[in-house]
Amino acid sequence: MRRLVVLCAAVAALVMVAAVSSAAGATWSLQTTPGPSGPPDAALTSVSCPSATFCMAVGASDFGFDHLGINLVGPIATFAERWDGTGWTVLPTPAAGVDPGLASVSCASPTFCVAVGSTQSGGRVTVGGLGGGGRNSHALLETWNGSAWSMQSTPLASMRNSRLTGVSCVSSRFCVAVGSFLKSWGIVWNGSTWRRITPPGVNYDSSLTAVACAAANTCTAVGSYNINRTGVAELRPLAARWRGGRWTVAKPPPERDRYHGKPYSNFTWLTAVSCPSRTSCLATGLSLRTQNIYPNGGFADRWDGHRWTVATTGIARNSPLYAVSCVAADDCYAAGQYDPHTITPPSTQRPLVEHWGLGRWGQVALPPVATLSNATWFEGNLLNPNLTGISCVPQPGCTAVGAQPQSASSTALAMSDLPAQAPAG
């Protein structure tokens, strides 16, 4: 009888593992990503895939920094690539001011995409408010009409110290974009014009860094706020729900010290959010448990339609999660960076994808990529290789993008578990 019980338990465990593996999709593979013309440096920060045969990825190109943050290459430019089911193609993007960079993209269809970012990006890859944006920055917005990218004016374009870091479009008639630098910003698209929306007021130094819309006029934005008015900043997670033209503020629980039950005294904030329905969202981010420059903890909060709860079971240690995409409430993928040590030379960093299912996280096997050979090389304030954007299509699979080192420069990185498809159109 004892052997039968043990055997049944083993079978049950195998069934659970098989379920997780099945949910985690097929084998991931690297995709060839052509670089921009001119200097070789490039990084992709965000990707949006409305179908398995169309993805749009954006970022910045033509930059490079030494360990002191000095630009070694020259002017920075926006950068975009399109996936057609068989390969990536570089797309021309319009001139967009001084040192522009794109932080986020959302495509309602292959013929309508919106990308946001800022000028004065400094070449820093902007991920959930990390890096990017100087005191003379201006919010940047570009649109894709199915054949070309073009600049579009926004109510923030003339405002100093503004930048946009997140955008979500449910159709060509409704989008919301959020951002922050010195204060929070928000704009909404009604199909013909962008108008400014008042962000939620939260003390202190609140910022919204990402947004996801489950339907028109039903959106969730996430970011952080400071619990200290003066002195050393202590960031906590922030969420705001946009319903019928109004924001409702929520303060999701931060990561807590498992031994003392108190929030960590440094930073816990949300950098990405995905809402597969009106009553379900998963937000991911970072938790800095020690005061050093490496984001050394992954973090997640989950919305069930009533309240936010911590969702960190099974999450890989030392694994900041920069992006998330859900096809269902219990079927999400998050992308970021993994390091087996708390404080380590850059050469040990590697890309990370984790799957949320059955109420826990599980690490997905990824193909090997190049690692840093120079421990002083930084890319956008984030050590690469890393994944900073991910987008999943129901049933077919996901595509993740980011950057990887190439000699003394950076090159775009893309990988996917999508099956081979015929090109769109």
pLDDT, tens digit, for every residue of 358-416? 999 999 999 998 776 544 334 343 567 889 999 999 989 999 999 888 766 778 999 99
Q: How confident is the model at residue 7 (pLDDT cuts 50, 70, 90)?
A: very low
pLDDT digits (tens, 9 = 90+) for 209-262: 999 999 998 999 999 988 888 888 888 899 999 987 888 999 998 876 665 556
At which residue do the structure tokens 């057609």 appear? 84
CB 52 within 8 A of CB 418: yes
pLDDT score for 171: 97
* % of the chain surpassing 90 pLDDT: 47
Q: Encoding tokens for residue 268?
A: 């816990």
Mean pLDDT rounded to a whole number for the chain: 80
pLDDT digits (tens, 9 = 90+) for 51-105: 999 999 999 886 544 433 444 445 688 999 999 999 999 999 998 888 888 999 9
CB 157 within 8 A of CB 185: no
Q: Encoding tokens for residue 238?
A: 């922030």
DSSP assignment of 126-137 equals -BTTBS---TT-
At which residue do the structure tokens 């292959």 appear? 110
Quick one: average pLDDT of 291-310? 81
Cα distances (angstroms) measured from residue 253 to each of 237, 275, 302, 335, 350: 7, 18, 10, 21, 28
pLDDT digits (tens, 9 = 90+) for 9-20: 333 333 333 333
Q: What's the count of helices (H) and strands (E) in the chain, helices before strands?
A: 1, 28
What burial class does residue 236 get, using C-beta atoms within 10 Å of its C-beta: 0-12 exposed, 13-18 middle, 19+ buried? buried
> β-strands 194-196, 184-189: how paired?
antiparallel
Domains and CATH numbers, the chain: 38-416 (2.120.10.70)
**What beta strand segments (E) does 278-316 contain?**
280-288, 298-303, 308-310
Does the pLDDT value for residue 27 go beyond 50? yes
* % of the chain surpassing 70 pLDDT: 74
Quick one: average pLDDT of 163-175? 95
CB 83 within 8 A of CB 49: yes
Which has the higher per-residue pLDDT, 337 or 134? 337
pLDDT score for 50: 97
Return d(Cα 43, Cα 49) in angstroms, integer: 18
